[in-house]
Structure 1
Amino acid sequence: MLYAISLILAVGVLAYWRAPLLLWTIALGLWLAALQLVGGCAVPVAVWAVFAVVAAVLNVAPLRRLVFTGPVFAIFKKITPAMSQTEQEAINAGTVWWDRDLFSGKPDFKRLLAFPAPKLSAEEQAFIDGPTEQLCRMIDDWKITHELKDLPPEVWQFIKDQGFLGMIVKKRYGGLEFSNYAHAKVVTKIATRGGSAAVSVMVPNSLGPGELLQHYGTEAQKDYYLPRLARGLEIPCFALTSPSAGSDAGSIPDYGVVCRGSYTHPRTGERFEDVLGIRVSWEKRWITLAPVATILGLAFKMYDPDHLLGDVEELGITCALVPTEHEGVAIGRRHYPGGAVFMNGPTWGRDVFIPMDWIIGGQAMAGKGWRMLVECLSVGRCISLPAMSVATGKFTSFTTGAFARVRDQFGLPIGKFEGVDEAMARIGGYTYQMEAAQDLALVGLDTGEKPSVLSAVLKYHNTERMRKVLNDAMDVHGGKAVVLGPRNYLGRAYQAIPIGITVEGANILTRSMIIYGQGAIRCHPFVLREMKASMANDAREFDDAFTGHIGFVLSNVVRSLWLGATGARFTGSPKGGEVAAYYRRVTRLSSAFALLSDMAMFSLGGTLKFREKLSARLGDMLSGLYIATASLKHYEDQGAQKDDLPLVRFAVGNALYDVQQAMDGFLANLPSRPLAWVLRRVIFPWGLTLRPASDKDGTRIARLLMTPGGSRDRLVHGVFKPEDARDAVGVLEPAMRAIIETEPLEGKLKKLAREGRFKTITARERLAEALAGGLISQAEHDALETARRLKREVIMVDDFDFSLREHDDKMLERVVF
């Protein structure tokens, strides 16, 4: 019995610590020797013979390939589905980073905490405090969305003159060359003032001509276009989406045929005859800035039927730069996106001849457009929409917290009702998650990474949380957010929610296909190696990868069982105190996720990519682990402030709870029921033990949002706060502070009323009576009068004339009570 127990312990320890194969062999050999020499058990020669044969097969690589991995390799090549060129390029795009640790089952938290905390340079901070602040003061979102349907000319000119369109352009070309972190924070601040302006700024700095030119353009293209883009002399757009090809960009029907032709250069007027070029036809939609663009980035499939370039007829997706004044280019019509009324519209052209040197990167980059796009997309998807989502979270935290403290019902601020504080807890907690998740990814970008998988995580989860916080903010504000007008600071953002959910890849497909579809191959320590070995018919590489993969699975079985049975209590943590338990839970769930991932691929094989519901749940597991670890890192980066712990408990606790629920849903729907039964006992030996953040923590978050202080300031940092109390947002902070300061005085007046000390009826009359009777001082009277005036300004909604055209700016003069 003792030796049996020792064997189990030895196997467990070796598997848990992922010992190399040779160490396994030595340990088991020593155990057999001890059994015979010390334990007095006569180990049969046959057992020693079997051990020797198995040890030789597993440890001698040529023998292992002949007997074991070779036959497996033959089967693997037959059952592994072929990848299209676009799939291969998408898989190869970008880099893997912290997401690889989460797939490993053993996240290296020291590495996580060693990543630098994101920060702005002095120049970047000055830009946010200066031009960005000034731009926000110029934005009147109601005027933009309701009256002008565009940014005012002076705002457009300011954006161009101050270099907002060239934040990513290098300084050698006249750009600002900001970090990705600074780029995101600029967009975030603008978005807290107006979505239309934020979109107009972020698109030229995201996926588009500027980004593509810097990475792939010829020197001549860079020298001409980048200085013009930086100074706002060019307005770029990028035309990718077609009516019949949205998220499936690889199936775009737009095409170009290589031929010889003639054209007149639209900028110089020079005529060129009989030049090698492409005759392109396209119909694009949903192209931001297309109606006002001066330079069109165009994606199309390129064909060479006459073999003017070589033997290949179908060259693939190609990206070109076409001046919009070029003959045959059609722009100018607009779409009407809800909420954020920015310049967006279709572009089309038929048989438009362009020269070969208009291809981004020149003729050498013909047919390489898809790789260019997917490599750059990971950068833009980490910045633009996630930044706008963070802005929404910060803005709703700021406005809803103040409104819920100012607005009262039944004698209490509405934020103190538990039903309301539940919604406010989600607003604050999701905001913390969104900022933490993006900030960590921005650190990766600024240290040279291009995290394609994490960009998909951010795009989906930040925009979905944006939708949730806006829904909750609308509920808390009630009628204030329903009636449109200059005083409604949420309505337009609420209307614009579908934009973020839809663009840069529809959220449904991002969750069900992209996050795990890319992650399982890119981030798994062995799968991509096995697939590449299969495609290259490399038996040696496959042998090494597959052997390691087996050990990886065995380790995760043992680790998942041990960590589940012990609640990960004996696992190390890089930090002590309350957050230590969260690090341990991440380790436990990471091991379980790695095991479930392998079992999904093992049991479903190539069909897993078509099991989108299961793939989505696996993606949710990866996403939850990322959000949890990003939130822990965010807490440390902000100085581990104890006052922020309610936010941390919500952000990390709820993220890990979401991982557990995704695992439960996955196991409940895995087609192989016996395998699911075994996995459930391994991963959840005591059942589903994790719980989301408590109601008490939710109440603490709600109070945090309604109380001026360090935690609130950190959470809403970056929100543009107008200084004019006549502004619908600018009045919130003064009103909240005034209400808090005069709350004891209001209580005193209520007490006097209950005692029958007043002869008058209305609140205004009683305030005057209290002053006249010496019950309050003149200063107290003035403070109460100011607080009540500000409160009325906060809760009032707009009204218009009968035709809904003329707004009444003097409603506050119509005070009856």
Structure 2
Amino acid sequence: MSTPTQANFDALGRLDLLGLDQTLDSDDRLIRDTIRQFATEQLRPHIAEWFEAGTLPARELALEFGKLGVLGMHLEGYDCAGAKPSQYALACTEIEAVDSGLRSLVSVQGSLAMYAIHAYGSEEQKQQWLPRMARGEAIGCFGLTEPDAGSDPGSMRTYARRDGSGEHADWILHGSKMWITNGSISDVAVVWARTDDGVRGFLVEQGTPGFTSSDVHHKISLRASITSELSFDEVRLPASAQLPEARGLKAPLGCLTEARFGIVSGVVGAARDALASALDYADTRIQFGKPISSFQLTQRKLAELAVTVQNMQLVARRLAELKDAHEIQPHQISYGKFSNVRSALEVCREARSILGGSGITTEYSPLRHAVNLETVYTYEGTHEVHTLVLGQQLTGISAYR
């Protein structure tokens, strides 16, 4: 039986029933293959250990991802690669094929923290942070969710007030944020807070007096990822810490839309990897004198899962086309997250069943992917919230309140 941690390139080829690989141009294929090779050689051999230990060498990995050019790769300028969104989607697929926690490290850095600075920051803020973040020399996090404000960020309690009058007056920040990826290791936190003029964004540097963080432990899901609580006790910030172009909830929600795009393709990688693992196992697991892949019930499972994964890829490809053309709409990204995360969960659970008892160990990926996807199902817009986004698009009626 082949080692389950080895990349099963034969299985990947067999799973491409529609020949989607043939639609990639030479640049796309080079990016995909480069990241796949890095993931195979540098990430896959260690992921079971990181998951079991509930930790991740995030700073070291950030530097490696920086050298690879995937941090903020879809952003222009400031030492960012300026790749097409569709190429960023390919990167997310290959990284999440190893583990959702690794893709979260990359997407929180590039599509939340870096994107917020790139879209809403001053030129000084961009010059200070983006080149270092693109190289992985500085790590960012994104502080929006609170213990009592998850799906309803408009009810956040974190607030910032001016200490004095005039646009150059300091800000005083007070409150807390929860479930923050990269929180305790971040050099800069993008923090969203209520003010007298609505929601505003601030850059809070690590080491600022009154800013503390603590990690969330005993996680069952997304264990190869750092998850933290951020606390702000009357933190004094200069006026220059405010993101000048971020006004209202539209700004952080725009960042979430950007990050969800990566999720749509990322979870394809998790589902594809789980299915490839199950297909390889079924070919080599002998029962009743022959491989279990020869049994009708197993072939039915494999066929249904393969079609599901290909449908997920089609959704991701269509959204990437729209994103490349600057035509994508938020409800379309909600469609992708709604459809692909749900489908990925179903694929990983059923793939685990093909592995039998072996599937409950960390030697094989399907169940690890499945428990990770339970978090992806919830974060950056719960499945229920995306249901309501689609419902509003279909009916013209908002059902949130």
TM-score (norm 2): 0.86
C-alpha contact (below 8 Å) 1:386/1:438 kept by paired residues: yes
The whole-number CA distance in structure 1 between the counterparts of 2:156 and 2:367 is 35
- 3-state DSSP of counterpart to 2:172: strand
Partner of 1:151: 57
Please give the residue correspondences for 1:30-429 in structure 2 after superposition, counting only pairs within 5 Å.
119=24, 122=27, 125-130=29-34, 132-139=36-43, 140-147=46-53, 149-151=55-57, 154-170=60-76, 172-206=77-111, 208-260=112-164, 276-303=169-196, 315-340=197-222, 341-360=224-243, 362=244, 365=245, 368-383=247-262, 385-429=263-307
- Distance in 2, matches of 1:378 and 1:138, equals 30
Q: Do the aligned residues in 2 keep the contact of 1:295 with 1:323 (CA within 8 Å)?
A: yes
**Secondary structure, aligned partner of 2:215:** coil
The number of residues matched between the two structures is: 376
With over 3 angstroms needed to count, the CA separation of the structure-2 counterparts of 1:498 and 1:255, relative to structure 1, is: same
| CA displacement at 1:478 relative to structure 2 | 0.7
Question: Take 1:432 and 1:145, find their aligned partners in 2: how far apart are those partners?
Answer: 28
More divergent stretch after superposition (439-448 vs 189-198): 189-198
1:514 corresponding residue in structure 2: 389
Q: Once the two structures are aligned, what percentage of the paired residues are identical? A: 21
Report matched runs for 1:521-670 at 5 Å: 521=396, 609=399
What residue identity is the alignment partner of 2:276? F
| 1:480 Cα deviation after fit | 1.1
The alpha-carbon deviation at position 453 of structure 1 amounts to 0.5
Q: CA deviation at 1:414?
A: 1.9
Distance 1:359 1:153 in 2: 26
Match of 2:348 in 1: 470
Distance across 1 between alignment mates of 2:128 and 2:385: 38
Relative distance call for 1:355 and 1:120 in structure 2 (3 A) is farther
Query: Aligned letter for 1:215?
Result: A
Distance in 1, Cα, partners of 2:37 & 2:159: 44
The one-letter amino acid paired with 2:103 is: A
Question: Secondary structure of 1:496's match?
Answer: helix
How far did residue 301 of structure 1 move?
Answer: 0.6
Give the deviation of 1:319 after TM superposition: 1.0
Residue 502 of structure 1: which of 357, 378, 383 is its match?
A: 378
Shift of 1:283: 0.9
Write the distance in 2 (CA, Å) between the matches of 1:160 and 1:240: 25
The whole-number CA distance in structure 2 between the counterparts of 1:134 and 1:407 is 29
Measure the CA separation in 2 of the matches of 1:278 and 1:336.
Answer: 35
Partner in structure 2 of residue 435 of structure 1: 313
Output the CA distance in 2 between the equivalents of 1:239 and 1:301. 13
- Poorly superposed stretches of 4+, deviation over 6 Å: none
Secondary structure of 1:164's match?
coil
Displacement after TM superposition at 1:254 (Å): 1.0
Partners in 2 of 1:252 and 1:369 — Cα distance?
A: 12
* C-alpha deviation, 1:244, in angstroms: 0.5
Relative to structure 1, is the Cα distance of residues 135 and 429 closer, same or farther in structure 2, using a 3 angstrom cutoff? closer
Question: 2:16 corresponds to which residue?
Answer: none
| Cα pair 1:330 1:347 within 8 Å, conserved | yes
Letter in 2 for 1:292: I
Question: Mean alpha-carbon deviation: is it higher for 436-445 or for 124-133?
Answer: 124-133
Please give the root-mean-square deviation of Cα atoms over the aligned residues, in Å.
2.4
Q: Is residue 321 of structure 2 the alignment partner of residue 453 of structure 1? A: no
Indicate conservation of the 8 Å contact 2:349/2:366, yes or no.
Answer: no
Shift of 1:141: 0.8
Distance 1:506 1:440, change over 3 A: same
**Any idea what the Cα deviations from partners look like across 1:288-316, whole Å, max 9, x if unmatched?**
1101100100011112xxxxxxxxxxx11
1:492 aligns with 2:398: no
After superposition, the C-alpha distances for 1:576-595 in whole angstroms (9 at most, x for unaligned) are: xxxxxxxxxxxxxxxxxxxx
Partner SS state of residue 191, structure 2: strand
- Structure 1 residue ranges without an equivalent (≥5): 1-116, 262-273, 304-314, 522-605, 613-817
In structure 2, distance between residues paired with 1:152 and 1:351: 29
* Inter-CA distance 519–280: structure 2 relative to 1 (3 Å threshold): farther
Change (3 A) 1:343 1:439: same
Q: Is the 8 A contact 2:100 2:373 kept in 1?
A: no
Distance in structure 2 (CA, Å) of the matches to 1:159 and 1:151: 12
Q: Supply the AA of the counterpart residue of 2:198.
A: G
After superposition, the Cα gap between the structure-2 partners of 1:247 and 1:120, relative to the gap in structure 1 and judged at 3 Å, is: farther
SS of 2:347 mapped into structure 1: helix
| Aligned-pair CA distance for 1:450 | 3.3
Question: How far is 1:148 from its partner?
Answer: 6.6
For 2:317 and 2:305, locate their aligned partners in 1 and report how far apart those are by CA, in whole Å: 18
Mapped to 2, the partners of 1:134 and 1:391 lie a distance apart of: 15
Shift in Å, 1:260 = 2.6
User: Contact (CA 8 Å) 2:147, 2:177: kept in 1 or not?
Assistant: yes
Greater fraction strand:
2
Deviation at 1:514, TM superposition (A): 1.6
Q: 1:287 to 1:518 in 2, by over 3 A?
A: farther
Instruction: Report Cα offsets for 1:681-716 as digits up to 9, x if no partner.
Output: xxxxxxxxxxxxxxxxxxxxxxxxxxxxxxxxxxxx
* C-alpha deviation, 1:488, in angstroms: 2.3
Contact 1:166–1:205 at 8 Å: present in 2 too? yes
* TM-score of the superposed pair, with normalisation by structure 1: 0.44
Change (3 A) 1:253 1:121: farther
1:135 Cα deviation from its structure 2 partner: 4.1
* Deviation readout 1:39-91 (Å, 9 max, x if unpaired): xxxxxxxxxxxxxxxxxxxxxxxxxxxxxxxxxxxxxxxxxxxxxxxxxxxxx
Contact 1:297 1:322 in 2 (8 A): yes
2:109 match: secondary structure: coil
Farther-moved stretch of structure 1 (233-242 vs 124-133): 124-133
Residue number in structure 2 paired with 1:597:
none
- Matched AA of 1:178: A
More helix by share: 1
Shift of 1:234: 1.6
Change (3 A) 1:135 1:389: closer
CA pair 212-120 structure 1, distance change in 2 beyond 3 A: farther
| Structure 1 position 339, deviation (Å) | 4.1
1:643-691 deviations in whole A, cap 9, x for unaligned?
xxxxxxxxxxxxxxxxxxxxxxxxxxxxxxxxxxxxxxxxxxxxxxxxx
| Separation of aligned partners in 2, 1:335 and 1:179 | 36
Q: How many angstroms does 1:184 deviate by?
A: 1.3
Q: Which has the larger radius of gyration?
A: 1
Structure 1 residues 494 and 336 mapped into 2: Cα distance closer, same or farther (>3 Å)? same
